[in-house]
């Protein structure tokens, strides 16, 4: 290349393209720091307090000397202007501008400026950092760089450019001679003599922003100058990206990207030629070819928009080369791709990946849908990265997230593929031609806000490209024919109410994710005594990966228990996502608000109103409560839209109507919006009205033949039943509704085992309002007494029953008087006062018989049988229990029947009638599983344990007893004093039999889920197959 330090006129073949060109000399200076030469016309030996020790290099734009700073005793580089340029105001201005630009940059990969000085003769000179080492040009004289060295050097150059571009500075003369490599491998970018700001305030201009460049003047070094530099067109950060691509090609191949014996030939090559791609070594990852090609696009709009994007691709290529991960590596698979590299571990999702790969094998368009933060993008990337070898045409990732205009969808796809619009051909046709060459996989991320446009484009590409497949991620399906939609589930969470060991919890993907992310910010983090809190956090966050990651990030400054305690204010707690992410992906609130803001007003209204539901809702409930429309079909249409947008989850239970629910995080956001809109009071009034009517309708059925259907129905709504009473403020408009509801719901709470919370709510209800007549309030007091009795609070229960008895006697309500007498008898029975208990039961029995209350009669027969059993009158006890069973079977009260069957099992076990005991326990268990009643389950487990012990199966007996112990503890159902003494004897006997194996069996029972314990018990009982058991 000839050295040029003057203006040269170049005439191109095209008309009107005669440009005046300022070409940087090549090379501009030498950089041999080991043996500085003294020029023939030596300068003064000193400049101020700097002693010049020799010349480091010179070029058309300056001379650089090695000098010693006498004040700080250090070596520096001093750059001066040649005399002929120092007299030129324009050159002098450029010199001073270089000083100011360098002073604005502070980065380890940019040579530091120490100052701008003025000599006595008014000449100016720069005091620069002295960089030891060699230039990249010197290094390349010894041959091409290995792949890993190329990447490390290029990565540091990219970091330097990124720092400059962030300050609004573009270099405009990037080349190997302006890149120094220190002996330690540190890269320093030099010579900002042609650099310029893209805006006056130093902010980086957006791609396409213009620079003030003198018309007809091109500045730079041919072979590294971009086409827009050559043509003296506006320049921005992408000008440096072109030069960067030239350097990357040269480093890998050892040859320049564009070569010619003349400057005109070199310019023509840059404007219309291509590098010799065959010169890139075969061992270089295929991704390098794609990256360099994008950097060297003639049209700046087709290059990467930022050097940050280039640096990210470089890091991915370096990791691919270092790890040798064949299944995910373009260099070994031979497949080009631009997939972003994972920056954090991928946790779980084995089943989802297998299912998605299966579905993609059956369709050409697979759309992964899910709520914001559910992990759609990570799942899609992991899915397609395993399919590289099957797609010779490449796997290409396009993120629509940053797009604010749907019209840019096609351009975004084109840019990712390196396709540009050509004269006489539409961009769509160019895309179809590019994608139709060989099997290609396209990943379209974040489609929800450009749904219609992206859908049309996908449809056109699929029709025109027979070997194209598309994986899309969106909060809503694209709605295309043949589209396979896969709803991405949240991560599995530990079951509520079940006890787990730390090792068992670590098997849940949600817990794994929390632990891994917490360890990243707190290396000493371990899953130990905090395991239950971690499980609760994952459960309360619905297994949403993004929410769990944000929560785990707080482990840097908060204990796990503190994080759990602050989840009630989750939107303030769960912030601090990646600063590189879009704003809507940085906080939990923002990701949900993004979806909410894109809803139609009527959809927003429904979403707000649905927040009143706790634990889900039915279509009927939504129509009756939300106030959007009385037409169920209109509500269904709106609800379907919310389901389609991944804001509502639909659940289909076999044999039951569909139910809908929010993830709790979405519900919390919708509830905030409901309160802000001032709609809360009206919606809550309709909510309590609806569920009050439901429990009043259910109440008589809870003792009838269809009680199982009603228990199951109320089980599905139990959170709504709690919420209806909790959300009174207190009831001011219609407190009678809350009183009616409390009086009707307590029996369900007793059957379902919701003892503590039910009693608390009833007490708060009575204390919050004086509404309701004496009998209405007495009904609630009676319910509270029953719940308290079940919890072992006999004193509290007796006080409440005494109050009820006075009210009912005054009202002349004999049926309720009998019920109160029976409760007083229950309390006496548990206290061991069997004579008082018998007297009260018989008194109640007389009243029930006189009133013809068969159900009351059956209950008192059972209760009198319990007294007989405890007073060791076994024959009387069995007779009374049998009579009670007959009545209960006739009435269809299967829950009460199960209690009496348990009593009969007790007698059979005690008398070693093990065949009868098995039959009673098995029938009891089948009933309770069918009607889903929880409280009597204790008798099943404890009677089953007694049976197993008598059969010699001590381990099974201990396991079942451990499961019963957990259920008692969770439900708050203690033994009475007499029962406790008996239980201690049973456990002591089992411990003696099992010896060292007791603790293991006991722990296994305590950790097993109730449903699993019952299933195992039933399978064991049925395996006995009716044969007479033998001890």
Query: Looking at the annotation, which residues are catalytic?
Result: 173
Q: Could you write out the three-class secondary structure of 170-237?
A: ECCCCCHHHEEECCCCCEEECCCCCCEECCCCCCCCCCCCCCCCCCCEEEECCCCCCHHHHCCCCCCH
Specify whether the backbone of 831 is left (phi greater than 0), alpha (psi in -120 to 50) or beta: alpha
> Are 501 and 1008 in contact, with CB atoms under 8 Å apart?
no
Q: What is the DSSP letter of 76?
A: E
79 is in an annotated binding site: yes
Give SS3 for 366.
strand
Task: Please answer whether residues 844 and 822 qualify as being in contact, where contact means their C-beta atoms are separated by less than 8 angstroms.
Answer: yes
Q: Please report the sign of the dihedral spanned by the C-alpha atoms of residue 664, residue 669, residue 673, residue 676.
A: positive
Q: How far apart are CA 283 and CA 281, in angstroms?
A: 6
User: How many angstroms separate the CA atoms of 717 and 709, rounded?
Assistant: 13
Phi first, then psi: give them for residue 482, nearest 5 degrees. 80, 0
Alpha carbon distance 158, 77 (integer Å): 24
DSSP string, 453-480: HHHHHHHHHHHH-TTEEEEEEESS----
β partners of residue 80:
63, 125
What gap in Å lies between CA 890 and CA 900, rounded to an integer? Answer: 14
The count of residues in the chain is 1031
Per-residue 3-state assignment (H helix, E strand, C coil) for 297-343? CCCHHHCCCCHHHHHHHHHHHHHHHHHCCHHHCHHHHCCCECCCCCC
- DSSP string computed for 265-285: HHHHHHHH----GGGS-TTS-
Which residues, 6+ apart, have CB-to-CB distance to 152 below 8 Å? 185, 318
| Rounded distance between C-alpha atoms, residue 780 and residue 951, angstroms | 45
**Pairing label, strands 113-118, 124-129:** antiparallel
Beta bridge partners of 118: 124
- Alpha-helical (H) ranges within 892-1009 are 894-910, 914-931, 937-950, 954-971, 977-994, 998-1007
369: left (phi over 0), alpha (psi -120 to 50) or beta: beta
Q: Is the peptide bond before 27 cis (omega within 30 degrees of 0)?
A: yes
Given a contact cutoff of 8 angstroms between Cβ atoms, the answer to whether 845 and 884 are in contact is no
First to last CA, the chain: 103
According to DSSP, the β-strands at 62-69 and 74-80 are antiparallel
Concatenate the DSSP letters of all residues of 679-730 into one string.
-HHHHHHHHHHHHHHHHHHHGGGGGSTTHHHHHHHHHHTHHHHHHHHHT-SS
**Alpha helix stretches (DSSP H) within 794-833:** 794-811, 814-830
124 in Cβ contact with 118 (< 8 Å): yes
CA distance linking residue 722 with residue 678, whole number of Å: 22
Decide: 265 and 1 in contact? Cβ < 8 Å. no
Q: How many CB atoms lie within 10 A of CB 1004?
A: 14
- Residue ranges of the annotated binding site are 79
- Residue ranges of the annotated binding site for ATP are 79
């Amino acid at each position: 290349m000839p050295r040029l330090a003057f203006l040269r006129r170049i005439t191109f073949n095209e008309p009107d393209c005669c440009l005046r060109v300022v070409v940087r000399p090549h090379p501009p200076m030498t950089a041999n720091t080991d043996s500085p030469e003294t020029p023939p016309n030596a300068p003064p030996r000193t400049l101020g307090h700097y002693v010049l020790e020799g010349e480091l290099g010179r070029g058309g734009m300056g001379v650089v000397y090695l000098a010693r700073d006498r004040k700080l005793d250090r070596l520096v580089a001093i750059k001066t202007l040649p005399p002929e340029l120092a007299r030129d105001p324009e050159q002098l201005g450029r010199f001073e501008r270089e000083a100011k630009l360098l002073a604005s940059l502070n980065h380890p990969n940019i040579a530091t400026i120490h100052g701008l000085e003025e000599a006595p003769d008014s000449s100016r000179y720069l005091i620069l950092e002295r960089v030891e080492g060699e230039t990249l040009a010197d290094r390349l004289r010894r041959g091409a760089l290995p792949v890993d060295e190329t990447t490390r050097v290029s990565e540091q150059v990219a970091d330097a450019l990124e720092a400059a571009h962030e300050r609004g500075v573009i270099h405009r003369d990037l080349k190997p001679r302006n890149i120094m490599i220190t002996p330690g491998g540190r890269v320093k970018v030099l010579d900002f003599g042609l650099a310029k700001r893209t805006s006056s305030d130093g902010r980086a201009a957006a791609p396409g922003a213009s620079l003030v460049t003198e018309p007809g003047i091109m500045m730079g070094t041919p072979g590294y100058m971009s086409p827009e530099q050559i043509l003296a067109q506006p320049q921005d950060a992408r000008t440096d990206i072109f030069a960067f691509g030239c350097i990357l090609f040269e480093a890998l191949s050892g040859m320049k990207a564009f070569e010619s014996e003349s400057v005109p030939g070199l310019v023509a090559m840059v404007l219309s030629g291509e590098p010799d791609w065959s010169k890139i070594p075969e061992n270089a990852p295929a991704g390098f070819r794609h990256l360099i090609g994008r950097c060297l696009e003639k049209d700046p709009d087709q290059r990467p928009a930022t050097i940050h994007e280039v640096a990210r691709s470089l890091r991915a290529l370096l990791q691919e080369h270092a790890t040798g991960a064949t299944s995910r590596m373009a260099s070994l698979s031979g497949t080009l791709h631009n997939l972003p590299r994972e920056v954090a571990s991928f946790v779980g999702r084995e089943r989802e990946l297998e299912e998605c790969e299966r579905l993609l094998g059956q369709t050409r368009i697979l759309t992964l849908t899910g709520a914001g933060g559910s992990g759609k993008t990570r799942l899609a990337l992991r899915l397609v990265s395993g399919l590289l070898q099957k797609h010779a045409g490449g796997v290409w990732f396009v993120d629509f997230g940053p797009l604010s205009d749907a019209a840019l969808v096609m351009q975004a796809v084109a840019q990712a593929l390196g396709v540009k619009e050509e004269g006489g051909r539409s961009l769509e046709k160019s895309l179809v031609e590019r994608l139709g060459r060989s099997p290609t996989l396209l990943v379209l991320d974040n489609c929800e806000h450009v749904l219609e446009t992206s859908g049309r484009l996908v449809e056109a590409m699929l029709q025109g490209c027979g070997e194209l497949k598309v994986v899309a991620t969106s909060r809503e399906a694209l709605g295309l024919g043949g589209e396979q939609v896969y709803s991405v589930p949240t991560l599995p969470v530990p079951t509520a109410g079940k006890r787990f060991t730390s090792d068992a919890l670590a098997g849940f993907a949600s817990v794994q994710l929390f632990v891994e992310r917490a360890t990243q910010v707190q290396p000493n983090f371990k899953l130990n005594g905090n395991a239950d809190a971690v499980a609760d956090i994952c459960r309360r966050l619905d297994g949403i990966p993004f929410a769990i990651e944000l929560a785990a990030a707080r482990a840097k400054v908060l204990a796990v228990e503190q994080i759990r305690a602050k989840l009630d204010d989750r939107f303030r707690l769960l912030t601090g996502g990646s600063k590189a992410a879009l704003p809507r992906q940085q906080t939990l609130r923002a990701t949900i608000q993004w979806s909410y803001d894109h809803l139609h007003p009527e959809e927003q209204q429904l979403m707000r109103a649905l927040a009143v539901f706790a634990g889900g809702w039915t279509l009927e409930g939504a129509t009756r409560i939300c106030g959007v429309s009385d037409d169920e079909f209109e509500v269904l249409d709106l609800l379907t839209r919310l389901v389609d947008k991944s804001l509502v989850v639909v659940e289909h239970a076999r044999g039951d109507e569909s139910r809908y629910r929010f993830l709790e995080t979405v519900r919390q956001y919708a509830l905030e919006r409901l309160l802000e809109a001032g709609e809360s009071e009206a919606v809550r009034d309709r909510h309590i009205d609806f569920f009050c009517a439901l429990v009043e309708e259910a109440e008589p059925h809870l003792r009838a033949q269809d009680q199982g259907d009603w228990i199951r129905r109320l089980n599905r709504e139990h959170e709504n039943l709690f919420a209806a009473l909790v959300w009174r403020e207190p009831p001011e408009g219609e407190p009678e509704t809350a009183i009616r509801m409390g009086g009707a719901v307590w029996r369900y709470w007793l059957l379902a085992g919701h003892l503590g919370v039910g009693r608390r709510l009833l007490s708060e209800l009575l204390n919050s309002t004086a509404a309701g007549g004496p009998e209405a309030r007495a009904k609630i007091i009676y319910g509270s007494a029953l719940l308290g009795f079940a919890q072992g609070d006999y004193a509290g229960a007796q006080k409440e029953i005494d109050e009820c008895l006075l009210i009912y006697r005054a009202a002349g309500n004999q049926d309720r008087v009998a019920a109160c007498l029976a409760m007083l008898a229950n309390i006496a029975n548990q206290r061991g006062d069997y004579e008082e208990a018998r007297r009260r039961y018989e008194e109640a029995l007389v009243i029930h018989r006189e009133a013809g209350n068969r159900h009351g009669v059956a209950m008192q027969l059972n209760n009198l049988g319990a007294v007989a059993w405890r007073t060791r009158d076994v024959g009387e006890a069995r007779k009374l229990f049998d009579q009670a069973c007959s009545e209960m079977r006739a009435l269809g009260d299967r829950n009460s029947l199960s209690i009496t069957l348990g009593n009969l099992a007790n007698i059979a076990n005690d008398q070693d009638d093990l065949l009868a005991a098995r039959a009673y326990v098995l029938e009891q268990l089948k009933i309770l599983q069918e009607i889903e009643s929880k409280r009597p389950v204790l008798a099943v487990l404890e009677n089953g344990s007694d049976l197993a012990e008598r059969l010699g199966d001590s381990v099974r007996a201990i396991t079942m007893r451990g499961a019963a112990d957990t259920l008692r503890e969770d439900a708050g159902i203690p033994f009475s004093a007499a029962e406790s003494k008996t239980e201690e004897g049973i456990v002591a006997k089992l411990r003696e039999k099992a010896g060292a194996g007791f603790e293991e069996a006991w722990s296994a029972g305590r950790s097993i889920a109730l449903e699993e314990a019952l299933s195992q018990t039933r399978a064991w009982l049925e395996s006995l197959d009716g044969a007479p058991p033998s001890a």
